[in-house]
Amino acid sequence: MKASVSLWSADLLNLRADVRRLEQVADEFHLDVMDGNCVPDLVFGLDFVRALVRSTAVPMDVHLMLTQTATQAAAYAEAGARVVTIHHELCNDVRSVLTALRASGSRAGLVVRLRDGLNPESLHLDLVDRLLVMGTEIGVKGQDLDPATPQRVETLVSLRRQHRLAFDIFVDGGIRHQTVQKLASAGADGVVPGSLVFGAPNPIEAVSWIHTLGTQTSSKGAA
């Protein structure tokens, strides 16, 4: 299983050191871009993403929570984000934005909120490279994983297989030792750990443990 490590949980006054410490093990760094309108908080932004892309070879995974998603998504792709994930409810023409992101060379992601339906049309499965399944309400830290999340992941895995597609399924929110194992068993390709990594005695070992879960899950599937 992959780890897109959330820098929102890093030491924001010593962020460079946290990035350097994890760049040999993190698959991606996850950046929540918030404008303070869609969610209560206000964190990160375009200039920061651009600077971080220049400072490390680890790919950037950007989650946009912006009222002006349609007009700003392309700028984050141009800034070097490997993955740009948008919210359908914050974008009037989701398909156009997803198409433009892919044309720019970024991978196009779409958020699946807790109460969103899981059908191919509303999820635009023909245009997404990643589905970011929310295990909690967006923009708030410290919540527990919604108990229905593993089953929702299993449903998406089944849809992916049924339609012969290859999008990633990542889960964000409520990522804990006991929940990440359930998500791995459900077939998630990755998680967005925050405090699970930065609150651990050894953050490098925490990321390596997540990788091991993926290996175990794959071995079971192969058997």
Q: Which residues are catalytic?
A: 32, 172
Alpha helices by DSSP H, 79-146: 94-104, 120-123
- Give how far Cα 15 sits from Cα of 19, 22, 27, 130, Å: 6, 11, 17, 26
| Cβ atoms of residues 9 and 198 within 8 Å | yes
Measured in degrees and rounded to the nearest 5, phi and psi for residue 56 equal -150, 155
CA neighbours closer than 13 Å in the CB half-sphere of residue 85: 29
Element (H, E) at 69: helix 69-78
Distance of CA 78 to the CA centre of its chain: 19
Tokens matching residue 96: 């156009």
- Distance CA(165)–CA(74), nearest Å, equals 24
Spatial distance between the Cα atoms of 18 and 114, rounded to a whole number of angstroms = 30
Distance between CA atoms of 28 and 152, rounded to whole angstroms? 23
